[in-house]
Structure 1
Amino acid sequence: MTVISSISRSEAKAQETKTNVPAAPPVAASKQRPHSIATEAEALQIAQRLAAQWAPSAHERDRDRRLPWSEMEDYSASGLWAITVPKTHGGLGAGAWTLAQVIATIAAADGSLGHIPQNHFYALEVLRVGGTDAQKRFFYDRVLAGERFGNALSEIGHRDHKRRTRLEPKDGQWVLNGQKFYCTGAIFAHWIPVQAMQWRGGADEPVSVLVFVPRAAAGVTVTDDWDGMGQRVTGSGSVALENVLIDPAWIVPFQASFDSPTPIGPLAQIMHAAIDLGVGEGALAAMLPYVREHTRPWVDAGIDSASQDPLTLHAIGNIDVRLCAARLLLRRSGAFVDVAQANPTDDTVAAASIAVAKARTLTHSAGLLAADKLLELGGTSSTFADRGFDVYWRNVRTHTLHDPVRWKFNAIGNYVLNGINPPRYGAL
């Protein structure tokens, strides 16, 4: 497969004018049913094993922009992609904190691999909240069988941020048309949940729905045109939908999931917070042995070891404190999300949103600090290409731009000072 390598966006666009970036091939169905995880402790153990397996090759994947096809198969086969399927449908029904720990553990080894399943779990939550019993039975079984969900939610080029993707009736069938970008996970997916505006007969305005589209359906084109400086192997390219015929059984309400209080937003955000935390913890883990072994001692100041440099000690202590605090806030927020999932009310969902927002503000700053200090304390030689230390900073800097953390402080302040619940949407 031809992909855009490490070149500038302008160069990439020039290259695209000569040769179209090819679409990704459909993903084959899994050959065997994944491992069935019995406990949340086992899920964490499996995540740790996979992280240890993938960490040594993370730099190479990023450097060569090698999409992790084999890693994704191992990831699915491990059973981790099914941990949030409810127990009533044969899954583990893992809590939010366990899910966050799994993502953080993988992200510490490889930020891209930590990020890829985020929209899969998001779609599962939308299904849990708004799907019919028949839809849940069908799609949960697909996930337990090893199938993956991607996403095609975002669109670019519209200042009003309104979705242009349309699901319309045509000749007695539903037809989907649109163009999506930032489609993390779609390239590796068996199903691509697409946010679309559904036009129903006699309605003055369309309603937002999530359409679970088969990756191999006619009219679906997934293009590997992601050119970010970080998260380079998430495959977050674009999805084109041209006259895709849609079975009504694939259409799940989406707008209704935000018109009423649901934990979809907090669950989405706790996963994003976990990605930032994981990358920061990975940066600290890479930092410690390198600083011990390579940082030049300050002989002129009477310091013969970098491990005794007071400024180095201060910096590392500051990083560790902030990462520990971020992890504790994330764990605390998981309990709020669990409560909101069990009993979704205005108050429980608002409390979960605020708790996760607090965690996200700290995972954001702590992750950035750790990645930045890895380069600063490592010195010039730490930036050599063969070290791969820059990937932590590029990954966390790119991912922290997913949605503006400054608005989270605003929502937290309004909640604490004025008792006003935050708005309900996926970014809070």
Structure 2
Amino acid sequence: MSVTAAAETIPLAGEPGWSPRKPTEPAHVIASDEEAIAVAEQLKPIFAEGARERDRERRLPFEEVDVFSQSGLWGITIPKAYGGAGVSQVTLAKVFAKLAAGDPSLTQIAQNSFEIIDVIRLTGSEAQKRDLFGKVLSGYRLGNAFSEFKGKNVEAFESRLVKSGSQFTVTGEKFYSTGALFAHLVPIVALDEEGHVVVAVADRDSTGLTVINDWSAFGQRTTASGTVKLDKVKIDPSRVLPAHIVYENQSAVGPQSQLIHAAIDAGIARGALEATIDLVKNHARPWIDSGQDRASDDPYTISAIGDTVIKLHAAEALLERAGRQLDATIAAPDLASIGLAKVAVAEAKVLTTDIALQAASKLFELAGTRSTLGAHNLDRFWRDARTHTLHDPVRWKYHAVGQFYLNDVQPPMHSWI
């Protein structure tokens, strides 16, 4: 076979049959909360650079994801006993909010890895923890093959894990698989032969595991949150986690995952606000009736910016409060503390949703018609906010919070609150 012909058989990055190369050198290991926040600050402008063009072209951030995981941020919640920083949930939320202000799509690619780290921590054997935590700390990325598209609701799983000789196989089809395309290891949610929820961790290049980049949403365009097809994918018993321990009983895994989603929304709001302030100061024209020479001196614009800032600060304050409650719940988990964590995160999610949508919309109102020009691609903030805030319905957050405070009803057991 000629060199040219051989090259034609090699799939391009992101195409079926392609898988990311394994880390050629160990990732940096972050040692503290303070370092995690500092690294996030360093990465934010790197994420922001090119975000506009990546979104417009649906160009997947392969190089940026490598920088992201090699920075050590993917392993910051791994407990200190296993070599991680064991950062607080307050710090985790701050890290995601900072990064999402630069590029929320790129930031979201890591989100599900943190949920699986929690599942490993709570359900894995010592050998599984040493194996999987060690891989994450060395730079391996965990993906996501959790949700399914065809069930009657988000908990209706059709994927099955069955015994096959000395191993298992898993078969099914997933969607909303954020992170799977970029992953080295793909955690798969399935039902075992007894009907219990398990997480089976497959190698990304496993035979029968196909990741399809068919994500077509108008927002979060570069998350590659599309389809994963599973055709009798072999799973070693050492890579099967009894996830039903946390998914079929009350646990903090759900609100921990929700906290990151709320942080991403807060980051979108801050990114939109920063873009608005830059446009108003440096590009927008004052309205004729204001009598001002600069758009930044328009009294109604000043007032609107003040309103947006206040609401963003309120959302960020509830996000930090939710993080503190989660930290307390993780330290002493019981039904009462888990309920408090779920409600606290739900309250934060309501405000981060509202401010993400408001800030992304106010951008156009305050910066004027020129802000809608395609060259700027500023609608990506609203598209990202509108798409990401649909992850779990806020209308049910109000209901859960009201039931908790009015009728002493604990929040639902599932992971979406």
TM-score strictly above 0.5:
yes
Tell me the distance in 2 between the aligned counterparts of 1:263 and 1:124.
Answer: 12
Which of the numbers 33, 39, 50 marks the counterpart of 1:40? 33
| Cα gap change, 1:301 to 1:282, in 2 (>3 Å) | closer
Q: Structure 1 residue 172: deviation in Å?
A: 4.8
Amino acid in the other structure paired with 1:176: V
Amino acid in the other structure paired with 2:371: S
Tell me the distance in 1 between the aligned counterparts of 2:169 and 2:108.
Answer: 30
Task: Deviation per CA, 1:124-165: give whole Å up to 9, x if none.
Answer: 011111111111111000111100101011111222551110
Report the counterpart of residue 199 of structure 1 in structure 2. Answer: 193
Amino acid in the other structure paired with 1:374: L
Amino acid in the other structure paired with 2:100: A
Report the counterpart of residue 251 of structure 2 in structure 1. Answer: 262
Which of the numbers 147, 166, 178 marks the counterpart of 2:172? 178
Task: Deviation per CA, 1:234-275: give whole Å up to 9, x if none.
Answer: 111110010111111111112221333321011000000000
Aligned length: 403
Q: Structure 1 residue 30: deviation in Å?
A: 0.3
Partner SS, residue 117 of structure 2: helix
Q: Which moved more, 1:308-317 or 1:403-412?
A: 308-317
Amino acid in the other structure paired with 1:347: A
- For the 8 Å contact 1:24–1:187, the answer to whether it is kept is no
Partner SS, residue 385 of structure 1: coil
Which of the numbers 177, 183, 199 marks the counterpart of 1:210? 199
Task: Deviation per CA, 1:92-149: give whole Å up to 9, x if none.
Answer: 0011111111111110000101211000001101111111111111100011110010
Report the counterpart of residue 68 of structure 1 in structure 2. Answer: 61
Which of the numbers 225, 229, 233 marks the counterpart of 2:222? 233
Tell me the distance in 1 between the aligned counterparts of 2:163 and 2:291.
Answer: 78
Tell me the distance in 1 between the aligned counterparts of 2:171 and 2:414.
Answer: 24
Tell me the distance in 2 between the aligned counterparts of 1:392 and 1:406.
Answer: 22
Report the counterpart of residue 352 of structure 1 in structure 2. Answer: 341
Q: Structure 1 residue 218: deviation in Å?
A: 1.1
Q: Does 1:81 align with 2:81?
A: no
Q: Structure 1 residue 25: deviation in Å?
A: 0.9
- For the 8 Å contact 1:276–1:399, the answer to whether it is kept is yes
Aligned identity (percent) is 43
Report the counterpart of residue 296 of structure 2 in structure 1. Answer: 307
Q: Does 1:286 align with 2:275?
A: yes
Task: Deviation per CA, 1:182-233: give whole Å up to 9, x if none.
Answer: 1000000011111101004xxxxx1111111111111110111111101010
Root-mean-square deviation (CA, aligned residues, Å) is 1.3
Which of the numbers 99, 120, 135 marks the counterpart of 1:106? 99
Q: Which moved more, 1:352-361 or 1:385-394?
A: 385-394
Give 5+ residue unaligned stretches, structure 1: 1-20, 201-205
- For the 8 Å contact 2:68–2:74, the answer to whether it is kept is yes
Tell me the distance in 2 between the aligned counterparts of 1:285 and 1:245.
Answer: 47
Report the counterpart of residue 332 of structure 2 in structure 1. Answer: 343
Give 5+ residue unaligned stretches, structure 2: 1-13
Q: Name the TM-score, length of structure 2 as normaliser.
A: 0.94
Amino acid in the other structure paired with 1:389: L
Tell me the distance in 2 between the aligned counterparts of 1:112 and 1:255.
Answer: 29
Q: Does 1:167 align with 2:156?
A: no
Report the counterpart of residue 42 of structure 2 in structure 1. Answer: 49
Partner SS, residue 233 of structure 1: helix
Report the counterpart of residue 28 of structure 1 in structure 2. Answer: 21
Report the counterpart of residue 144 of structure 2 in structure 1. Answer: 151
Report the counterpart of residue 10 of structure 1 in structure 2. Answer: none
| Cα gap change, 1:166 to 1:309, in 2 (>3 Å) | same
- For the 8 Å contact 2:47–2:106, the answer to whether it is kept is no
Q: Structure 1 residue 35: deviation in Å?
A: 1.1
Tell me the distance in 1 between the aligned counterparts of 2:100 and 2:389.
Answer: 13
Tell me the distance in 1 between the aligned counterparts of 2:282 and 2:248.
Answer: 55
Q: Structure 1 residue 299: deviation in Å?
A: 2.9
Report the counterpart of residue 387 of structure 1 in structure 2. Answer: 376
Amino acid in the other structure paired with 2:64: E
Q: Structure 1 residue 24: deviation in Å?
A: 5.3
Report the counterpart of residue 265 of structure 2 in structure 1. Answer: 276
Tell me the distance in 2 between the aligned counterparts of 1:311 and 1:301.
Answer: 9
Q: Structure 1 residue 301: deviation in Å?
A: 4.3
Q: Name the TM-score, length of structure 1 as normaliser.
A: 0.92
- For the 8 Å contact 1:129–1:262, the answer to whether it is kept is no
Partner SS, residue 286 of structure 2: coil
Report the counterpart of residue 10 of structure 2 in structure 1. Answer: none
| Cα gap change, 1:127 to 1:292, in 2 (>3 Å) | same
